[in-house]
Structure 1
Amino acid sequence: MIFSILGVINPFGAFSRPGEYLANIYNVFFGVIICICDGKEDWMRACGDVQTKLFQRAFFLATPTGKAFFYFYVGSMTILMLPEGMADKTRA
């Protein structure tokens, strides 16, 4: 999540593809959702009962299978954001 925030800010000018900005914004958003899903119920109730509201609006996140598919999607999207040439180096 920290690297996604840095990717949106782009302090080092490392990201040149425009699609990476949108993907980083999505990663930040999905990271917040994951923190809400896995957070302690007491803490989430103190923050306006956000966990219950999230589970009511997106019921698939309340089930282990749905949560697993969501985590797989977020992880796959993160892996696909590797800089050009990095995927080639991991194969060798």
Structure 2
Amino acid sequence: MATHITDECINCGACEPECPNEAISEGEEIYVIDPSLCTECVGFHEYEACQAVCPVECCLPDPERTESEDTLIARARQIHAGKKEFGDDFPSRFRK
């Protein structure tokens, strides 16, 4: 699932610099996540970085966008092609 930001967002911006895919940006009223760039931090962390820093816990998995670890790592590999290598033992919240 891509992560999404709920209406409880206080527009603090803590999440934006934490995203390794630059998927988070300031929307009209709250921050938003581009689901085509979100990998739930698969390949980078064993947790979702935006969730970890959100003071109001409004960065949540989007129940309408269920995605497998394979889909998310494939997206990370595509986004970071030529910039970062992901071996078979990449960090993932699916592997806790």
Q: TM-score, normalised on structure 1?
A: 0.31
Please identify which structure carries the higher helix content.
Answer: 1
Q: TM-score, normalised on structure 2?
A: 0.30
Please identify which structure carries the higher strand content.
Answer: 2
Larger-gyration structure (1/2): 1
